[in-house]
Amino acid sequence: MKYYEGKTAVITGAASGMGLLTSKTLAAAGGNVVMCDFNEEGVKMAADEINALGKGRAYAVAADVRKFADAERAAALAIEKTGRIDLLVNFAGGNEARCCKSFVPFYEQPVEVIDWGLDVNLKGAVYFSRACMPYMVKAKSGVIVCMGSVTGFEGDGNGTMYGTAKSGLFNFVVGAAKAGAPHGVRVFCVAPGPVLTRETMGKMETALGRAIEPKEIVDFVLYLASDSCPSVTGSTHLVDAGRLCVGRGSTAGFLEAGK
């Protein structure tokens, strides 16, 4: 992890789960992290905890990824405090049915829930990428990572917008990578299967017979984003313990695991 010493990362969904673990890992390596989350109290507490360790510096930003102004504010803070943005990891997201407590089929979903699913899972990553990428282009260096999901391949009969948005990210990274390549900016997507950020995810069927530890995803993301993988761009990398091999089995999938 020495590669990340002195570098700056903007992380969304940073108050918990893989976003928090990534922030801690980078800071422990001597990197700076701009931690963005809608949970203002949670992200501030997380940043304070990291700063108390006295290694890399953490900056908390209360941000709604659905608002481009919040993305711009986070990027500007990174430049103001550290003078650079080397890495953006878009972790913020969630199944709209579970997060909005609306467990009904797509044809009965309220429009507000549909909008939430698309805005948080797709537009949020697009907004933060749009806000951070100009600084990377100017520096002729940078990496943007979008967090997809195996659901982007499988689909979900209830959390339909979650899968729709995640598959949209698969295409987004291709276009963004083409735009960034002449300027030394890489863009790619990592698509996890069931990750043990919630205990119930362990109930989902996979070929390996187990769910994925959050650290596996974080380590993989940081490996691909490092100078060990300078040719990785425009691609989506499935890390699902063989979930896609065995098939979804029902339209409930992630939704039932999240109840």
For the annotated catalytic residues, the residue numbers are 162
User: Nearest-CA neighbor of 60 among 36, 78, 80?
Assistant: 36
Yes or no: say if 196 and 213 are a contact pair by the CB < 8 Å rule.
yes
Yes or no: say if 169 and 146 are a contact pair by the CB < 8 Å rule.
yes
Alpha helices of the chain — where are they, by DSSP H? 17-28, 40-51, 68-82, 96-99, 111-118, 124-139, 151-154, 160-180, 214-224, 243-246, 254-258
User: CA torsion angle for 257, 254, 112, 161 (degrees, to 10)?
Assistant: 180
- In angstroms, the CA 57 to CA 150 distance is 33
Q: Could you list the beta-strand ranges (E) of 30-184.
A: 32-37, 58-62, 87-90, 142-147
For 148, what's the count of Cα atoms within 13 Å in the CB-facing half-sphere? 27
Give the helix/strand (H/E) hosting 117.
helix 111-118
At 78, is the secondary structure helix, strand, or coil?
Answer: helix
User: Nearest-CA neighbor of 99 among 79, 111, 113, 81?
Assistant: 113
> How many other CB atoms are there within 10 angstroms of residue 105's CB atom?
11
Dig out the tokens for 67 from the structure. 């608002």
